[in-house]
Structure 1
Amino acid sequence: IDECENHLACPGQECVNTAGSFRCQPCPDGFRLRQGRCADVDECSGGSPCAPHGRCLNTAGSFLCECQRGYRAAAGATACQDVNECLEGDFCFPHGECVNTAGSFRCLCADGYAGTADGTACTDVDECQEYGAGLCGAQRCENIPGSYRCVPECQPGFRPGDGGDCLDVDECSNGTLCGAHATCHNLPGSFQCACDPGYETARHGHHCV
């Protein structure tokens, strides 16, 4: 006999027929009695509990939150919370400071640096390219990390100095230009090889024969 055909057999509970008898059992969490049977409650049907930053997905006896990018549902939580990306990685290091925003973050970059197109890092700004040749007037603009410097256009045999002037290049400093049978003499913008006694300057080149 199926005692469960009598809807009064288990008031407020689900009736389960057994051989020669029956038993009453309460509905588990996430289920509701419907026509004598425990049916799943669709938590997503009465307005999403994951809104406004997620989509509700109904499951048997519960639901899941499918969160938007930059949001996460913590274990046991019923809503999508903002992720603080600044606590999860060095996104702006070493040339910027990470600032958390709703659903994302941004980099406060140091002077001379700017955020990349995807906003995850600070890269060097090439001021020479961005502002053009007029940045240094008659001098040459040279980009350096976080800034730039103006370098004088020096004649051959001279190199730019730290003070913005042109310094003579000492060609004799490497000790190999004039060979083994000559003495190297540095000159402004150039050099000269003085041959040892018994040697003369070769017709082609600076060495002595």
Structure 2
Amino acid sequence: MTELVIFYSFALILVFAAFRVITAKNPVHAALYLVLSFFTGAVLWMLTKAEFLAVSLIVIYVGAVMVLFLFVVMMLDINFEELRKGFWRYLPVAGTVAVLMAYEMVMVLTHPSAQLRGAAVAEPAAGYNNAKVLGQLIYTQYFLPFQLAAVLLLVGMVAAIALTLRKRKNTKYINPADQIKVKRDERLTIVSVNAEARAVIEPPKPADGEQQA
């Protein structure tokens, strides 16, 4: 009964935080609500005995992705009012999709099947470690899909970097290959300069017809 109360409490918080992510006018507030939704989602993962996924959700998304997103939002001068102009235009379509998803979830939860009604998380055996089991599955049974997903992520990263390296006019940049080929004699020149004699300042000579004081 206690776990059920905790589940519905955090589920309501998660729904509220997700709703505020798309309705908050301030992008920083929307990002903070997204962080709250990640934390509540991690609690739900903990209730289902998936500790590794819960910790990964906090470390990866909250500790890295959302921090980077907050830095980008606060450092770049982005006109978010311009980006939100089409919000109300697509609201009917988004509302329809949301209603359909909610209907499907209600149908699943209220299904008369005995398996769904009596479904419960089995208690793990003594010494069970879900991180170890997950690692064994990834590197044995699902090794090929895992490597394919890694290659797709690598291709996406390379594509994102390539898009930012497009040549633009009036842009100064340095070619690392040219820097490596440079030799010392091409950049450093030692010049021997003769020492000059110290200049002697002589008093001005009086003009013709003037007497010296």
TM, length-normalised to structure 2: 0.20
More strand by share: 1
Q: Higher relative contact order at CA 8 Å, sep ≥6: structure 1 or structure 2?
A: 2
More helix by share: 2
